[in-house]
């Protein structure tokens, strides 16, 4: 039935209409300005797209989130082509559409696949309600260079955590009724120097063992789409790589969905010096395996009718696009109910899910003397300081477009609510709102940062903030990066706190008032001074629409933080790249003095995160002291909450292969589970360790291998876990 219907539609299409089905246009309704970053004329571009809709030249649109608009454009599409084929609407629903969730790196920090799945299901429900059929997410690029701004969009440095998070997001999105589009295939996070879009040169050893596993997990979870990457991978543009898009994705992994290019990435095959001209770019894109071209204007696929040698590839691509429309039900129900959309976007249950996700994402980096949780009953006054504390736009982070700033709860809002009437909560900005250090390509979507108040005097403002801190029982300082300092086209050469933030923190700490630092970020920042002088540091990331409420829940103890770092936190940018899963190499005893001018250890290790209680690990055991190379063993450990209150813990399992046909990492995450234990409670946690967890891709053998060897096993609450045992594989 499905195949027959698709074949019948395909048979009716002219070469130009087939090219149209393989073309996806941005549809911009900008506030009338021409944006140089995109070279888009606010009037001309939408008109050109509507003309293309009218001649059956469009298969998909992106950047429309209003139900009335999706219905209007859908009607243009259906009435515009004689076959009445509707368009697919895609959008960047990265961490929420109207209800904004914590940024993806924050959700990864929850190490809680169920919460991640639940959050993306909410996002999918809101997206489908307004007529969006497909999200360009999850971003599953492994990132080991935090200078790269897009680290915020993924799940950090580790392939095992990255794979679990990727699969959970795909389940969430597709369970919620939209296609998930894992991106950017592949290796984008290894861009040279962390510079966005620059080339990535990755050995096959690293590709197969580190960068590809999250994509494979997403494909195995049933992702319906994959998006290509912008940069050159080992000398070939990822968006023109037949090896990546056909040999790996389809022939090796059996992917049956459709592939979309990143924005203009097919046209830019010419920019790369790979294609000779736009027609060549179009031919090589579709022959490599790019089914759908995402373009702002003048698509390369307009040239496809003139490429007869690509006719079979074009038909195969059109079949995949039509199959996606059929499977989603778009062919039979192309329009949405606008009233129903409004109801769904306003569902208070969505806010509750976002608040819980933000609670579970925060990472307690330091809590000397148990400064946290605060006891509101014992406090008379709280000083809340720093521009990020009261910035709705920054609280929801980058990669959001359909947000409602009026309903966004800032950290200041949340503290005021939770502290209650008996506590005086006062706010001071303290420092200038650091002017944007560059024109961000996303500023055109609104949310530009408010300017400093008229007559703002930095010295006076700093002094009044310090006076407020000195006169308060506790000072809560919110520092980090403004939301447009991270994300796409927002890489940095340093990790320092931008502007005068450190100066503010040092002045506040010098008053002697107990100080709590809240970090609003998406990458690790240089907290060397804070880690030695500020007793409590809680990483709240960009916590989303309900962020202020979630942060207050954690500050006052209504919930205990349980997040764990999804990346290694360097002391300084000079240590980059730095990740826990490195090999032992020569003279490991010097591991701590690899530099003469700085420690060689991270400021905080991968998997680190504290809570309001303590945990002990004991009785680590393996079901068999020796196992065959293809056998599974189970590893069990007792976890006890040895503190005074219920708290969450992420139990982590790490392996190390002592010898074999390759040097293997000193530790690799191979299991984790989040538990919540009452005070005094002990739980025995069990992991399965089989060939899948022990195998690795060997550079010389050029295939997956399993060694007969001895494995070290660790279990604990971070990558520095000490409880260990071993087992043999013969
Ligand atoms: C952007 C990004 C990609 C996004 C696409 C559509 O340039 O690279 O992640 O999904 O274009 O906005």
Atom of ligand 1 nearest to the CA of 92: 10
Q: How many domains does the chain have?
A: 2
CA of 184 to the centre of ligand 1 (A): 9
Q: Per residue in 195-220, pLDDT tens?
A: 999 999 999 999 999 999 999 999 99
**Nearest CA owner, ligand 1 atom 3:** 262
CA of 283 to the centre of ligand 1 (A): 22
pLDDT at residue 82 is higher than 90: no
DSSP string, 251-293: IIT---SEEE--TTTTTHHHHTTSSSSHHHHHHHHHHHT--BE
Say if 700 falls within a structural domain.
yes
Q: Per residue in 272-326, pLDDT tens?
A: 999 999 999 999 999 999 999 999 999 999 999 999 999 999 999 999 999 999 9
Q: Which residue has the higher pLDDT, 706 or 2?
A: 706
408 & 513 share domain: yes
**Taking phi first (over 0 means left), then psi (-120 to 50 degrees means alpha), and beta for anything else, what does residue 295 get?**
beta
| Cα separations in angstroms, 73 against 9, 89, 179, 345 | 21, 10, 20, 21
400 & 544 share domain: yes
Which residue among 179, 266, 488 is best mutated to probe the pocket of ligand 1, counting the most ligand atoms within 8 A of its Cβ?
Answer: 488
pLDDT at residue 145 is higher than 90: yes
464 & 383 share domain: yes
Say if 141 falls within a structural domain.
no
pLDDT at residue 524 is higher than 90: yes
CA of 133 to the centre of ligand 1 (A): 16
Cα end-to-end distance, the chain, whole Å: 51
529 & 450 share domain: yes
pTM: 0.97
366 & 495 share domain: yes
Going 268 to 271 to 274 to 276, the CA torsion angle's sign is positive
CA of 92 to the centre of ligand 1 (A): 7
Q: Per residue in 171-186, pLDDT tens?
A: 999 999 999 999 999 9
Q: What average pLDDT score do residues 339-355 get?
A: 98
Say if 714 falls within a structural domain.
yes
Say if 667 falls within a structural domain.
yes
Distance between CA 546 and CA 362 in Å, rounded? 13
Ligand 1 binding pocket, CB closer than 6 Å: 92, 136, 183, 262-263, 488
Q: Per residue in 109-128, pLDDT tens?
A: 999 999 999 999 999 999 99
Atom of ligand 1 nearest to the CA of 184: 9
Distance between CA 403 and CA 572 in Å, rounded? 34
Would you state the pLDDT for residue 30?
57
Atom of ligand 1 nearest to the CA of 139: 9
Share of the chain above pLDDT 90, in %: 91
Say if 4 falls within a structural domain.
no
Domain that holds residue 401: 354-557
386 & 504 share domain: yes
Distance between CA 195 and CA 654 in Å, rounded? 31
Residue 720: which CATH number? 2.60.40.10
537 & 626 share domain: no
Would you state the pLDDT for residue 284?
98
Would you state the pLDDT for residue 423?
97
Catalytic one of 262, 390, 394, 526: 262
Per the listing, tokens 């039979």 go with: 332
Distance between CA 49 and CA 379 in Å, rounded? 59
How is residue 640 annotated by DSSP?
E
Say if 378 falls within a structural domain.
yes
Last residue of a domain, one of 515, 539, 557: 557
Distance between CA 685 and CA 674 in Å, rounded? 10
Atom of ligand 1 nearest to the CA of 153: 9
**Nearest CA owner, ligand 1 atom 12:** 92
The answer to whether the beta carbons of residues 118 and 420 sit under 8 Å apart is: no
Last residue of a domain, one of 516, 542, 557: 557
Q: Which residue has the higher pLDDT, 456 or 661?
A: 661
Can you read off the two tokens belonging to residue 91?
A: 């959008």
CA of 342 to the centre of ligand 1 (A): 26
pLDDT band at 655 (very low <50, low <70, confident <90, very high): very high
Say if 553 falls within a structural domain.
yes
Q: Per residue in 687-701, pLDDT tens?
A: 999 999 999 999 999
Say if 709 falls within a structural domain.
yes
CA of 294 to the centre of ligand 1 (A): 9
**Largest Cα–Cα distance in the chain?**
78
Atom of ligand 1 nearest to the CA of 181: 10
360 & 455 share domain: yes
646 & 505 share domain: no
CA of 227 to the centre of ligand 1 (A): 9
Would you state the pLDDT for residue 586?
84
491 & 396 share domain: yes
Would you state the pLDDT for residue 472?
98
Would you state the pLDDT for residue 306?
93
Q: Per residue in 31-70, pLDDT tens?
A: 554 455 656 566 788 889 999 999 999 999 999 999 999 9
Last residue of a domain, one of 542, 557, 572: 557
**Nearest CA owner, ligand 1 atom 10:** 136
Q: Per residue in 564-621, pLDDT tens?
A: 999 999 999 999 999 999 999 888 877 666 888 999 899 999 999 999 999 999 999 9
516 & 367 share domain: yes
543 & 656 share domain: no
262 catalytic residue (yes or no): yes
Residue 497: which CATH number? 3.40.50.1700
**Nearest CA owner, ligand 1 atom 11:** 263
Atom of ligand 1 nearest to the CA of 137: 10
pLDDT at residue 437 is higher than 60: no
Q: Per residue in 440-470, pLDDT tens?
A: 667 666 655 667 778 889 899 999 999 999 9
pLDDT band at 720 (very low <50, low <70, confident <90, very high): very high
Which residue among 40, 262, 295 is best mutated to probe the pocket of ligand 1, counting the most ligand atoms within 8 A of its Cβ?
Answer: 262
């Amino acid at each position: 039935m499905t195949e027959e219907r698709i074949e019948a539609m395909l048979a009716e299409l002219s070469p130009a209409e087939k090219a149209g089905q393989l073309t996806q246009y941005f549809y911009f309704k900008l506030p009338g300005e021409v944006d140089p970053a995109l070279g888009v004329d606010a009037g001309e571009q939408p008109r050109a797209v509507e003309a293309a809709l009218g001649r059956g030249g469009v298969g998909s649109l992106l950047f429309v989130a209003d139900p009335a608009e999706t219905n209007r454009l859908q009607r243009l599409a259906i009435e515009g082509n004689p076959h009445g084929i509707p368009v697919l609407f895609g959008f960047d629903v990265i961490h929420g559409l109207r209800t904004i969730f914590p940024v993806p790196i924050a959700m990864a920090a929850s190490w809680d696949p169920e919460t991640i799945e639940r959050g993306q299901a909410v996002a999918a429900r809101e997206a489908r309600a307004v007529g969006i059929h497909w999200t360009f997410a999850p971003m599953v690029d492994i990132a080991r260079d935090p200078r790269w701004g897009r680290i915020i969009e993924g799940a950090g440095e580790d392939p095992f955590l990255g794979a679990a998070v990727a699969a959970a997001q795909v389940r969430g999105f597709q369970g919620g009724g939209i296609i998930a589009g894992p991106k950017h295939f592949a290796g984008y996070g290894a861009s040279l120097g962390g510079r966005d879009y620059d080339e990535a040169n990755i050995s096959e050893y690293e590709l197969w063992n580190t960068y590809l596993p999250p994509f494979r997990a997403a494909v195995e979870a049933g992702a319906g789409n994959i998006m290509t990457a912008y940069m050159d991978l080992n000398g070939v543009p990822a968006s023109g790589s037949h090896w990546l898009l056909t040999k790996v994705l389809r022939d090796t992994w059996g992917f049956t969905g459709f592939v979309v290019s990143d924005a203009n990435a097919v046209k830019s095959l010419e920019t790369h010096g790979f294609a000779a001209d736009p027609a060549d770019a179009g031919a090589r894109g579709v022959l490599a395996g790019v089914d759908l071209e995402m373009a702002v204007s003048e698509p390369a696929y307009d040239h496809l009718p003139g490429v007869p040698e690509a006719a079979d590839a074009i038909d195969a691509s059109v079949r995949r696009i039509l199959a996606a429309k059929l499977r989603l039900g778009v062919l039979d129900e192309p329009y949405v109910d606008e009233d129903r959309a409004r109801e769904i976007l306003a569902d208070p249950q969505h806010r509750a899910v976002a608040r819980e996700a933000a609670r579970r994402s925060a990472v307690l980096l330091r809590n000397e003397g148990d400064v946290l949780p605060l006891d509101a009953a014992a406090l008379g006054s709280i000083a809340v300081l720093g521009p990020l504390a009261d910035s709705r736009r920054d609280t929801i982070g980058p990669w959001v477009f359909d947000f409602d700033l009026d309903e966004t709860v800032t950290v200041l809002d949340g503290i005021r609510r939770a502290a209650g009437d008996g506590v005086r909560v006062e706010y001071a900005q303290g420092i200038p709102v650091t002017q944007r250090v560059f024109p961000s390509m996303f500023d055109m979507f609104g949310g530009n940062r408010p300017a400093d108040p008229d007559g703002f005097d930095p010295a006076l403002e700093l002094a009044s903030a310090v006076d407020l801190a000195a006169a308060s029982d506790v000072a809560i300082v919110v520092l980090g990066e403004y939301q447009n300092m991270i994300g796409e086209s927002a890489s940095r050469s340093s990790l320092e706190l931008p502007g005068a933030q450190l100066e503010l923190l040092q002045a506040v700490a010098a008053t002697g008032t107990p100080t709590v630092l809240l970090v609003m970020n998406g990458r690790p920042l240089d907290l060397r001074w804070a880690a030695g002088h500020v007793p409590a540091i809680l990483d709240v990331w960009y916590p989303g629409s309900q962020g202020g409420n979630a942060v207050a829940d954690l500050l006052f103890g209504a919930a205990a933080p349980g997040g764990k770092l999804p990346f290694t936190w360097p002391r300084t940018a000079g240590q980059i790249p730095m990740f826990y899963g490195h090999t032992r190499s020569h003279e490991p005893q010097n591991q701590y003095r690899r530099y003469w001018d700085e420690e060689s250890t991270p400021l905080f290790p991968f998997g680190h995160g504290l809570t309001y209680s303590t945990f002990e690990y004991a009785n680590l055991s393996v079901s068999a002291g020796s196992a065959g190379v293809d056998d599974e063993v189970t590893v069990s450990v007792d976890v006890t909450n040895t503190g005074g209150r219920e708290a969450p813990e992420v139990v982590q399992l790490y392996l190390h292969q002592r010898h074999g046909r390759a040097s293997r990492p000193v530790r690799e995450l191979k299991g984790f589970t989040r538990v919540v234990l009452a005070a005094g409670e002990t739980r025995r946690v069990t992991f399965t360790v089989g060939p899948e967890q022990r195998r690795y891709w060997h550079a010389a053998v050029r295939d997956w291998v399993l060694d007969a060897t001895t494995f070290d096993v660790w279990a604990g609450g971070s990558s520095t876990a000490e409880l260990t045992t071993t087992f043999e594989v013969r």
